[in-house]
């Protein structure tokens, strides 16, 4: 069951799934935590995953277009084209010395 609200920018939302829906199958296989993880791990961003789900008592089918996980991206100031100030350099040096 989708217990959390579905993010508007997610493949689940784009495919019409919402909080409270129950994913029944993925790739034609009964959906379990391990089968869903395996189906996702076999795919790359941009590929599709076929699912069947229950929504308000009705069985529906959808194709999810997978995307990269937008949760966290670590980027240096340099990579972002931002200036590295003395304060940033000092912080880095102090942090690197902690052991």
pLDDT one-digit tens code per residue, 4-57: 889 888 899 999 999 999 999 999 999 999 999 999 999 999 999 999 999 999
In this prediction, residue 96 carries a pLDDT of 86
What residue ranges define each of the domains in the chain, with the CATH number in brackets? Answer: 11-65 (2.30.42.10)
What does the DSSP assignment read for 65-87? E-----S-----TTTTT----HH
In this prediction, residue 88 carries a pLDDT of 93
Q: Is the pLDDT of residue 72 over 80?
A: no
């Amino acid at each position: 069951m989708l217990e959390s609200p579905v993010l508007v920018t997610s493949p689940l939302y784009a495919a019409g799934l919402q909080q409270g829906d129950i994913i029944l199958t993925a790739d034609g296989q009964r959906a379990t935590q391990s089968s869903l993880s395996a189906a996702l791990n076999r795919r790359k961003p941009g590929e599709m995953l076929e699912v069947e789900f229950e929504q308000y008592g009705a069985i529906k089918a959808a194709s999810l277009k997978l995307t990269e996980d937008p949760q966290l991206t670590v980027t240096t100031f340099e990579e972002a084209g931002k200036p590295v100030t003395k304060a940033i350099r000092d912080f880095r040096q102090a942090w690197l010395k902690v052991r």
